[in-house]
Amino acid sequence: MKLGRMNHVGVAVPDIDAAIVHYRETMGAAVVTRPFDLPEQGVRVCFVHTPGHGGSEGTQVELLAPLDDQSPVAGFMAKNPAGGQHHICYEVPDIAAARAEFEAMGKRILGPTRTGAHGTPIFFLHPKDMQGILTEIMETLREETH
Amino acid sequence: MKLGRMNHVGVAVPDIDAAIVHYRETMGAAVVTRPFDLPEQGVRVCFVHTPGHGGSEGTQVELLAPLDDQSPVAGFMAKNPAGGQHHICYEVPDIAAARAEFEAMGKRILGPTRTGAHGTPIFFLHPKDMQGILTEIMETLREETH
């Protein structure tokens, strides 16, 4: 496969509203999306926009708070109560092709391909096969043309 | 301050050459810079380029391997032997102004402003003041005009 755009860095936070205040007031973020629940992943999420080169859209920071104790993020928060970097997400043009390539390389994929926070199909790769990094692969969001 | 471009995500790795193979062969990176020692920070580093939006330069992955047991990254590696996400670096136009702003907000800064891996001045903010994230602030690299 060909390395795609780094769509976002997933950051686990204990309190999503407090984290939004941090990114707005301490870091000076101009755009933070409205948080919403993603029950399929057990998290409440929102995105902090960062500027890219030359006015382009940069890599986002995805703020993740566990919805409950059963959340996949709950274990991370127990180990990192202040929060911390949780995963990195790269885009691919075709999620099925990417999944097949990682499978062919013997990389462990965590569960089925499902819909991610941007509404496109995603899957996660096991950190033990990815240099210790929980890696999300997402299909690039195609802007609708009218 | 105004949130700047996410220049890179710092990723600690046990073996920088093996990590380069991973980013090239598993992730499909086309450009990885030549590793070099940064003794001031106690690390050997190189950068994986990722594509940004519309052909622009994306957020880089900075691979970091500790130079010795005294390296600031050595403690992280002891806790995360497989490697993992270590810090996030944002650009600012003026490092001294940014430092003064974070100081005025009461954020703990780790050591003096020094020269980072891109050759521009940087400093690090304490993760406990930054939602659990070790945060690097770097002055944007200015391309020389001839």
Task: Tell me how far apart the alpha carbons of residues A19 and A26 are, in angstroms, rounded to a whole number.
Answer: 10
Token digits of residue A45:
């999420």
Cα–Cα distance for residue pair A140/A95, rounded to 1 Å? 9
The tens digit of pLDDT for each residue in A53-93 reads 988 999 999 999 999 999 989 999 999 999 999 999 999 99
Of A6, A11, A102, the CB nearest to B59: A6
Length of chain A: 146
- The closest alpha carbon to B142, from B101, B104, B93, belongs to B93
Residue A142 reports pLDDT greater than 90: no
> Mutation test of the interface with chain A: which of B85, B135, B142, B143, choosing the one with the most A Cβ atoms within 10 A?
B85
Domains of chain B, first to last: 6-139 (3.10.180.10)
pLDDT digits (tens, 9 = 90+) for A14-68: 999 999 999 999 999 999 999 999 998 899 999 999 999 988 999 999 999 999 9
Of A94, A98, A78, A97, the closest CA to residue A86 belongs to A78
Nearest Cα neighbor of A59 from B61, B1, B131 is B61
Mean pLDDT confidence for B61-82: 94
Mean pLDDT (chain A) is: 95
Nearest to B6 among A2, A50, A83 (CB): A50
Partner A, chain B 40-69, Cβ-Cβ below 8 Å: 48, 50-54, 56-59, 61
Q: Do A52 and B48 touch (CB under 8 A)?
A: no
Residue B1 has what pLDDT? 86
A12: chain B residues, CB-CB within 8 Å? 132
* Residue B11 in contact with partner chain A when CB distance is under 8 A: yes
Q: Rounded to whole angstroms, what are the CA distances from B52 to A51, B89, B90?
A: 11, 16, 15
pLDDT band at B134 (very low <50, low <70, confident <90, very high): very high
